[in-house]
């Protein structure tokens, strides 16, 4: 048998086996309890992709073992090569013995090439989804209608108990679920105090990973024993979060450093959970028009990518370096502290940086200390506005656990896994939006919004401008406060006109919402809108310094010179195209919705008239024919039915024409 024939048989057999395995698993999930049925529904697209996945041609059919065995059990996948030759691959149970149960899923990606990022098979995703539902049931969180979100003092003990169960459930689920709990802990406008106080423990009291696993991971990343790299290393973390934990250590020169160590196994867990969440979002977008209109898929994809980047500390090191450089270029380089990184001691799962002494805002909140935080909050808000509007690079996770107050009163930022970026075009639009807001110019605000998210139909633009003016007056005017209602109203306006805001802008708005939640819990009297107005004026004044203006003029001059150099060539090309008869003009027909409505209405009425006339002619023919006793219905009945249809169709066309004239 030739090598090509063997390879074709191998591929065909593997695809057939994968299809059989997918059908078997889905059939079992269909007959399983409800939570498994839900898991199969969400993970079903994976089976379809697996059955039709492309095969990378290589010198062998595959490896002998499954690269990613399920956690908590030993599973050896059967060698793929005997199956390629036409033999049945043995099936294994959880203990490793052969069984005739579900076929072992083959891994076509083992044929050759670099391994792709594994987000889990259909079974692993279904198992994970079932695990999450089991966690929720174990902590009495389902059915959800039993949860008490009221503010009734009589049920405060119940809410406190439920919040504790939710905190433990999120800790047990790990990864992005802890992040979600941290975000909810800042939303006391959404949740009662018992819920936010219980979830606030996630910002400082997440269960630490075992010390021996942390030490092994450290030595693997550093390439040397811990005692050789550090003079002292505290095995007890000073802080433990959802993705990593921080240990205090001392270098051999006596410098105190913070060693951020990734939780063992968190990388694969985050990628799997992100994959499950994206499938749920895609399902929502497929069946929800509102979800598609607001671009929920793009936003979820960006948030998922941001979460995946947080498990790569090389990316976090780059973020920290970039933010430090942007702060150093600002007019107030010392107003916010960033820790000094140690790139030579850092890697993908370990980040070493300067240890900053101070209290986190979450610790201050837990102590219920009577401290005036308006000053640090104002400084952070000023830095955040500058980062978003002028630097295009901002800290996107300003929850209380990521903000320190140093002994000298200055704020410091930590945890740079989530950093957002705005491209220059979007940054210019945001600057115009800010200037227009400061001047209460709703027309320019609408112009800036339309540059970011153009309306699909020019006919809707006047109505959109009126709604924007009303939104600014009601939600952003004097005396207003930003809250969940503000976001809801903005989403409603965008959805009404089917606007799709850029995902980067939505991410910046999400970061502002996180910080607003922090302000709401720690400095309730802090007026975010009024402070933003004053700080924005300061930032604009800083940008108008002579040095900044000189740099801006030089930048614009370079752009003008470059455009001027290209202009003669473009004019020459246009003249040559006209001379040779190759000059073309592209015109969009029916770009205006009114033109489309006019043409579609005319076509609809023409079809109605044609169908009505045809039915009328057939009715006359049937009524003129002699009766046939063997017919299913008499010619009189058929003629009457067709005549009635003709009357309905022609009447419909007449009414539609009359309504069209009324609209004009």
- 268 and 346 in a single domain? The answer is yes
pLDDT score of 283 more than 80 = no
- Pairing outcome for strands 359-360 and 350-354: unpaired
- 219 and 110 in a single domain? The answer is no
Estimate the crossing angle of helix 296-309 against helix 503-522, to 10 degrees. Answer: 70
* Residue 150 confidence (pLDDT): 81
Neighbours of 482 (CB within 10 A): 19
Q: Residue 341 is inside which H or E element, if any?
A: none
* Farthest CA pair distance, the chain: 113
Boundary-marking domain end, from 203, 221, 244? 203
- Ranges assigned E (strand) in 297-397: 350-354, 359-360, 393-395
- 222 and 94 in a single domain? The answer is no
Q: pLDDT digit string (tens) for 562-589?
A: 788 888 888 888 888 888 888 887 776 6
DSSP letter at 404? E
Region 318-338 average pLDDT: 92
- Round to whole Å and give the CA distance between 203 and 83: 51
pTM of the model: 0.60
Find the range with the poorest average confidence among 4-13, 96-105, 291-300.
96-105
Neighbours of 298 (CB within 10 A): 17
- 217 and 354 in a single domain? The answer is yes
- Ranges assigned E (strand) in 479-579: none
List, in sequence order, every residue forming a beta bridge with 262; answer none if it has no partner. Answer: 244
- Round to whole Å and give the CA distance between 154 and 160: 12
* CA distances to 173, 317, 421, 478, 552 from 536, in Å: 41, 29, 19, 16, 19
* CA distances to 429, 602, 617 from 652, in Å: 49, 13, 18
Boundary-marking domain end, from 118, 149, 174? 118
* Residue 205 confidence (pLDDT): 61
Region 180-204 average pLDDT: 73
- 193 and 215 in a single domain? The answer is no
501 and 422 Cβ atoms separated by less than 8 Å: no
- Round to whole Å and give the CA distance between 18 and 52: 9
- Round to whole Å and give the CA distance between 412 and 416: 12
- Pairing outcome for strands 256-262 and 350-354: antiparallel
What average pLDDT does the chain have? 75
- 111 and 30 in a single domain? The answer is yes
Domain hosting residue 317, numbered range: 211-359
- 222 and 177 in a single domain? The answer is no
427 and 390 Cβ atoms separated by less than 8 Å: yes
Q: pLDDT digit string (tens) for 608-623?
A: 999 999 999 998 988 8
* Residue 199 confidence (pLDDT): 81
* Residue 366 confidence (pLDDT): 74
- Residue 290's pLDDT band (boundaries 50, 70, 90)? low
**Has residue 10 been placed in a domain?**
yes
529 and 476 Cβ atoms separated by less than 8 Å: yes
**Has residue 482 been placed in a domain?**
no
Residues 6 or more apart in contact with residue 78 via CB below 8 angstroms: 89, 90, 91, 92, 104
Short-list 422, 231, 173, 420, CA closest to 319:
420
Burial, 447: exposed, middle or buried (Cβ in 10 Å; 0-12, 13-18, 19+)? middle
Three-state secondary-structure class, residue 245 = strand
- Pairing outcome for strands 393-395 and 244-250: unpaired
**Has residue 398 been placed in a domain?**
no
* Domain tally, the chain: 4
Short-list 483, 478, 446, 480, CA closest to 465:
446
Sequence-distant contacts of 641-645: CB under 8 A, at least 24 apart: 642/615, 642/616, 642/618, 643/615, 643/616, 643/619, 645/612, 645/615, 645/619
517 and 183 Cβ atoms separated by less than 8 Å: yes
Residues 6 or more apart in contact with residue 218 via CB below 8 angstroms: 226, 259, 261, 350
* Residue 346 confidence (pLDDT): 93
**Has residue 318 been placed in a domain?**
yes
- Round to whole Å and give the CA distance between 477 and 530: 10
**Has residue 623 been placed in a domain?**
yes
H helix intervals, 223-265? 226-229
Q: Quick one: what percent of the chain has pLDDT higher than 90?
A: 18
- Round to whole Å and give the CA distance between 598 and 605: 11
List, in sequence order, every residue forming a beta bridge with 632; answer none if it has no partner. Answer: none
Three-state secondary-structure class, residue 414 = coil
* Residue 1 confidence (pLDDT): 46
- Residue 550's pLDDT band (boundaries 50, 70, 90)? confident
- Residue 50's pLDDT band (boundaries 50, 70, 90)? very low
**Has residue 407 been placed in a domain?**
no
Short-list 306, 275, 277, 281, CA closest to 294:
281
- Residue 484's pLDDT band (boundaries 50, 70, 90)? low
- Residue 121's pLDDT band (boundaries 50, 70, 90)? low
If one compares 252 and 109, the residue with the highest pLDDT of the two is 252
If one compares 122 and 185, the residue with the highest pLDDT of the two is 185
Boundary-marking domain end, from 333, 359, 385? 359
Three-state secondary-structure class, residue 257 = strand
Q: pLDDT digit string (tens) for 342-379?
A: 999 999 999 999 999 998 888 887 776 677 788 888 89
Q: Quick one: what percent of the chain has pLDDT higher than 70?
A: 73
- Round to whole Å and give the CA distance between 87 and 90: 9
**Has residue 184 been placed in a domain?**
yes
- 111 and 32 in a single domain? The answer is yes
Region 383-398 average pLDDT: 89
- 296 and 349 in a single domain? The answer is yes
In DSSP notation, 25-58 reads HHHHHHHS-HHHHHHHHHHHHHHHHHHT------
Question: How would you write 181-206 as a 3-class SS string?
Answer: HHHHCCCCCCCCHHHHHHHHHHHCCC
**Has residue 439 been placed in a domain?**
no
For the chain, give the number of residues.
Answer: 664
144 and 179 Cβ atoms separated by less than 8 Å: no
- 224 and 195 in a single domain? The answer is no
Find the range with the poorest average confidence among 22-31, 139-148, 270-279.
22-31
- 219 and 343 in a single domain? The answer is yes
* Residue 498 confidence (pLDDT): 79
- 256 and 342 in a single domain? The answer is yes
């Amino acid at each position: 048998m030739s090598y090509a024939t063997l390879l074709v048989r191998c591929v065909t057999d593997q695809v057939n086996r994968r299809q059989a395995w997918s059908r078997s698993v889905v059939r079992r999930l269909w007959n399983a309890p409800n939570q498994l049925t839900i898991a199969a529904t969400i993970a079903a697209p994976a089976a379809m992709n697996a059955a039709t996945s492309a095969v990378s041609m290589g010198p062998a059919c595959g490896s002998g073992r499954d690269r990613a065995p399920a956690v908590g059990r030993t599973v050896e996948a059967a060698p793929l090569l005997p199956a390629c030759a036409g033999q049945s691959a043995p099936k294994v149970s959880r203990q490793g013995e052969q069984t005739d149960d579900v076929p072992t899923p083959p891994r076509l990606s083992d044929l050759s090439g670099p391994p792709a990022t594994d987000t889990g098979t259909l079974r692993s995703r279904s198992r994970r989804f079932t695990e999450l539902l089991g966690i929720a049931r174990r902590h009495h969180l389902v059915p959800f209608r039993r949860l008490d979100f009221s503010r009734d003092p009589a049920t405060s003990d119940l809410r406190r108990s439920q919040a504790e169960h939710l905190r433990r459930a999120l800790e047990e689920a790990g990864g992005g679920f802890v992040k979600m709990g941290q975000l909810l802990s800042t939303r006391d406008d959404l949740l009662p105090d018992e819920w936010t106080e219980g979830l606030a423990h996630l910002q400082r009291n997440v269960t630490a990973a075992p010390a021996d696993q942390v030490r092994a991971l450290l030595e693997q990343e550093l390439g040397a024993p811990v005692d050789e790299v550090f003079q002292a290393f505290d095995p007890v973390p000073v802080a433990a979060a959802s993705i990593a934990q921080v240990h205090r250590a001392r270098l051999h020169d006596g410098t105190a450093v913070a060693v951020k160590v990734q939780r063992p196994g968190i990388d694969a867990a985050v990628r799997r959970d992100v994959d499950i969440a994206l499938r749920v979002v895609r399902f929502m977008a497929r069946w929800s028009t509102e979800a598609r209109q607001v671009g929920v898929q793009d936003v979820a994809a960006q948030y998922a990518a941001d979460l995946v980047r947080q498990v790569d500390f090389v990316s976090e090191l780059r973020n920290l370096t970039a933010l430090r450089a942007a702060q150093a270029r600002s007019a107030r380089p010392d107003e916010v502290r960033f820790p000094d990184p140690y790139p030579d001691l850092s890697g993908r799962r370990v980040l070493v940086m300067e240890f900053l002494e101070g209290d986190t805002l979450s610790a201050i909140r837990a102590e219920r200390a009577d401290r005036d935080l308006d000053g640090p909050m104002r400084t952070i808000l000023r830095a955040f506005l500058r980062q978003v509007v002028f630097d295009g690079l901002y800290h996107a996770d300003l929850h209380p656990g990521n903000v320190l107050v140093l002994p000298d009163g200055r704020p410091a930022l930590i945890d740079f896994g989530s950093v957002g970026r705005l491209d220059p075009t979007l940054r210019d639009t945001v600057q115009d939006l800010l200037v227009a807001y400061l001047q209460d110019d709703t027309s320019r605000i609408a112009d800036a919004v339309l540059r970011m998210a153009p309306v699909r139909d020019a006919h809707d633009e006047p109505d959109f401008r009126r709604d924007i003016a009303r939104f600014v007056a009601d939600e952003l005017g004097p005396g207003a406060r930003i809250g969940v209602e503000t976001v809801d109203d903005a989403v409603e306006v965008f959805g009404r006109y089917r606007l799709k805001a850029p995902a980067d802008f939505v991410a910046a708005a999400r970061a502002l919402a996180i910080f607003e939640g922090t302000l709401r819990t720690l400095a309730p009297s802090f007026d975010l809108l009024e402070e933003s107005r004053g700080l924005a004026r300061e930032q604009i004044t800083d940008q108008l310094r002579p040095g900044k203006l000189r740099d801006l003029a030089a930048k614009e001059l370079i752009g003008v010179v470059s455009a001027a150099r290209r202009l003669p060539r473009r004019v020459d090309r246009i003249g040559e195209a006209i001379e040779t008869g190759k000059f073309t003009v592209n015109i969009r027909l029916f770009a205006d919705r009114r033109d489309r409505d006019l043409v579609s209405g005319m076509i609809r009425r023409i079809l109605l008239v044609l169908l009505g006339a045809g039915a009328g002619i057939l009715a006359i023919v049937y009524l003129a024919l002699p009766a046939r006793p063997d017919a299913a219905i008499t010619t009189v009945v058929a003629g009457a039915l067709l005549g009635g249809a003709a009357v309905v169709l022609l009447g419909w066309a007449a009414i539609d024409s009359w309504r069209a004239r009324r609209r004009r």
